[in-house]
Structure 1
Amino acid sequence: MRNNEFKVVIVGRENVGKSSLFNKLISQHKAIVDDYPGVTRDMIEGDVNWLGRKFKLIDTGGILYDNPDKIKKLVLKQIDYLIDNCDIVLFVVDAITGLQPDDKKIYEYLKKNNKNFIVVANKCDNENIVNNAYEFYKLGIEKIFTVSAEHSLNLDSVLDYIISNIPLKTEKEEKEKIPRITITGKENVGKSSLFNALLNKERVIVTDIPGTTRDVIDSEVVIKNKKFIFVDTAGIKKRKNIKEKVVEFSIGRAFANIKRSDIVIHIIDVIDGILETDKKILGYIHDNYKGIILAVNKWDLIDVKEREKLKQKYYDYIKKNLPFLDFMPIVFISALKKSNLEKLIDIVINVENQYNQRVKTSSLNKIFEEAIFNKPVSSKDGRFRMFYMTQVSVAPPTFTIFVNKKEKISSSYIKYIENKIRESFGFKGVSLKFKIKQKEK
């Protein structure tokens, strides 16, 4: 790499949406976007930060072969230089107009020069256009990324691919990782109000991190001398032009942000309660072993005399309908009135500490042995044995249990062990991960 910067260059023929893609990836309107071909002539650079991995993104003018225009020839010369001095090329094509002669020439050039490149089929605004993009497989391409820069569809897949090619961070850089807190929920439950209240309530905003994708906003903030990255996401909503898959798409977008988080604050409207969509998202947070907090918003709308009774209803509902989340803290807030936010912040800090908590093997096995003694695993042949357990990692806390026959241990018994660990060491608001390994005596 040059100058220790990972460089990504966007190339393609004119009017395929390169500048639109560039603007969305850097989350700024730096490149001029117009339907008239050839608007972008000079290269434009921007910085992208995706999941803490940074790279330089470069937009280029449209490639037009066999054109007498001297400026067009200079653009080609400039692009040749950029391609030779970058790490990845995003070869953007138009899924609506389909495969064109200049697309074939660009592909042949990239392949001939052995460049690491991917094909990004833009303007895939609906399923029919996505199907049109498959025409580009005729070039012999193994993978096509179908996106819509205008509507911010599937851009995260492109970003994930790019950062997968960036060399891993050093051990020192990993230790300096800043916890990522994502706020999720339906439309109009108060996510942005909470996001703004958390950042503006006498906090020190370090920086607004440029672009990820879509309607996501990231801000690095210091709370009680500790850095966090708070992420405000778009609400789960229906989008036009996605037809029957609208709900699945919008929920999938929320899931993508959850996977990139350390802790998720899922916010609901106190009047609406926990709906089926909320259950699905809460279950996904749990299954991906994230820290989890349920924030019941608009608490100011509830009469003071009714609050304790309603709180108990929420606790009982979780216990009955979502028993796998019995460790999840619930906080009742008003983002608009900025009430009870200090308690929410204290819970976030505590959950983050629990998410990175490590238990000594000696202390862990003392609890483990007591649990086995009080409730031995039944085995008809008497040959099943559990040897010991150890915590192998944090974020999420992950435990390995060593047994002689791993098929003999049930999920219910693992849950029993989990409960005993929680009784002794807390892990409030944190999903625990268990691995079973088989070994001989």
Structure 2
Amino acid sequence: MRSMIAIVGRPNVGKSRLFNRLTESQRAIVLDYEGVTRDRQYGDAEWYGRYYTLVDTGGFVPVTEEPLLNLMRDQARLAIEEADIIIFMMDGKQGLTAADMQIAELLRNSTKPIFYVVNKIDAYQRKEEAIAEFYSLGSDLYAVSAEHGHGLDNLMDSVANLIEPGEPELKEEVFARVAVVGKPNAGKSSTVNALLGESRLLTSDIPGTTRDAVDTMISWNEREYLVIDTAGLRKKSSISEKLEEWSVVQAIRSIDRADVALLVLDATEGVTTQDKKIASVVDGRGRACVILVNKWDIVEKDTNTAGEYVKVIREEMPFLSYAPILFVSAKTGQRVQKILGEVDRVFEQYQRRVSTGELNRFLAHILEKHSPPVYQNKKLKFYYVSQVAVRPPRFAFMVSNPKGVAPAYRKYIENQIREEYGFEGTPIKTVMRERRRRDLRQS
């Protein structure tokens, strides 16, 4: 599981600049979306074989009457609470401020590894003189320029020493690893309990009862499943009440370990912004998915209710259009017995492989149905296609000019793949590659 690193500090010290440099410069971005406020982002990165997820928090203002700044402060406090490693950034040009000292005092109460970083120190400056006053915080300092990259090697080498190399695999021999994800109080733990047929996990009507991810082995139909009940937020402070959006970070942790995600929606609330954010994590991580609409037993309905609900889900989360939808009740057990059957079905599609010969016959057929576009006054040519990966299925197309494959035509190809081969419940990836002259001579 990737380590979680939170960047905290007061506003405008360069947190987002550091975030962008560490994610973009490593060219390992898997995820990069805006968080619950305008300043929070999540991004994956890698430093010489050490993989981590970076969280860019809003600026921390220790004392303020401004509601937005209060929310940003609460985010930072929650990041300190939930992250594995903390990078505390300060502004070397402005010098040590009272706000910096207040943040440092808060950090002293944390048992997490903390890296004290003085930003905006350019290479031509005399580093020791520029950061001298910051030594009063009583910690080792890292002088960097997030804008130009100076000093980041030293910082990240030290950070990476606390991260295990590679992405560890779970040792359990299981058929599939299943992450149960969703916003707090949607019924994740209750769903797992219903699958187990017993109350193995703590459940409650208090949002965020579960704090740590709980792994549970389930045997069904002579197969073993590792079910991961996603951590939520324990109701232990007003921060957790106001910022249940931190469940996005917890979902990232669990989805990283899974093959299939069970996305639990609360039928009584409809599709919320938070549901869509977690759904985008599932899709961005390339995991198979089944959508569970929970608490269906307490929804007033007629013969059209389910159909209307499906329509709303498809409209609100078009990027998960491939995911099957089950209407369930963890409380009464309604349709719970169908969940693992759906997991089996989508997991089979998730690791399905189509032969190269079959794919190229398929390619000829769809090119005949809908000719490739013209690009720069030349008709785009598709030479061949092969499946290069599973989990999720990934297809590489050799073309005369990858830039000429417009998004609409790529979507046409993906839709045709699904129409021909199914792949229900799993994302599919398509890659357009230019066929080199050497390849043409050899063919």
TM range (shorter): 0.5 to 0.7
Please report how far the alpha carbon of residue 243 of structure 1 lies from its aligned counterpart in structure 2 after TM superposition: 9.6
Contact 1:367/1:420, CA 8 A, preserved across alignment: no
Contact 1:124 1:130 in 2 (8 A): no
1:295–1:332 CA contact under 8 A, matched in 2: yes
CA distance in 1 between partners of 2:401 and 2:236 (Å)? 50
Matching of residues 200-349 of structure 1 within 5 Å: 200=197, 215-235=212-232, 240=237, 246=243, 249-303=246-300, 306-349=301-344
Distance 1:129 1:138 in 2: 8
* Counterpart code for 2:400: N
Aligned-pair RMSD on alpha carbons? Answer: 4.0
Count of paired positions: 298
* 2:131 paired with 1:136: no
Which of 350, 354, 360 is equivalent to 2:345?
Answer: 350
2: CA distance between counterparts of 1:162 and 1:347? 34
Q: Deviations over 1:183-239 (max 9, x none)?
A: 011222111111111123799xxxxxxxxx951101122221122110001236887
Q: What secondary structure sits across from 2:311 in the alignment?
A: helix
Counterpart residue type for residue 397 of structure 2: I
Q: Which residue does the alignment assign to 1:124?
A: 110
Q: Tell me, in whole angstroms, the C-alpha distance in 2 between the residues paired with 1:392 and 1:313.
A: 38
1:428 aligns with 2:424: yes
Distance change (3 Å), C-alpha of 1:127 and 1:274 = farther
Partner of 1:399: 395
Structure 1 counterpart of 2:384, one-letter code: Y
Report the CA distance shift for 1:94/1:197 in structure 2 as closer, same or farther (over 3 A). Answer: closer
In structure 1, distance between residues paired with 2:417 and 2:87: 53
Report if aligned partners of 2:388, 2:396 keep a CA contact under 8 Å in 1.
Answer: yes
Report 1:102-181 matches (<5 A): 123-124=109-110, 135-137=139-141, 142-143=156-157, 161-162=163-164, 164=166, 178-181=175-178
Q: What SS does the aligned partner of 1:308 have? A: coil
Per-residue Cα deviation, 1:69-126 (whole angstroms, up to 9, x for no partner): xxxxxxxxxxxxxxxxxxxxxxx99999xxxxxxxxxxxxxxxxxxxxxxxx985389
Q: 1:237 to 1:372 in 2, by over 3 A?
A: farther
Task: State the TM-score, normalizing by the size of structure 2.
Answer: 0.58
C-alpha contact (below 8 Å) 1:126/1:241 kept by paired residues: no
Deviation at 1:352, TM superposition (A): 0.8
Please give the secondary structure, in 1, of the residue aligned with 2:258.
Answer: coil
**Counterpart code for 1:359:** V
Q: Does structure 2 retain, via aligned residues, the 8 Å contact 1:240–1:246?
A: no
Q: Quick one: distance in 1 between partners of 2:320 and 2:346? A: 14
Distance 1:241 1:134 in 2: 31
Per-residue CA distance 1:320-372 (angstroms, 9 max, x = gap): 33333221100000101112012222111101111111111122222221111
Q: CA deviation at 1:180?
A: 1.2
Pairwise CA distance, 1:127 = 12
Alignment partner of 1:363 out of 355, 358, 364: 358
TM-score (norm 1): 0.59
**Aligned partners of 1:379, 1:95: CA distance in 2, in Å?**
50
**Alignment partners' CA distance in 2, 1:358 and 1:95:** 43
Contact 1:236 1:251 in 2 (8 A): no
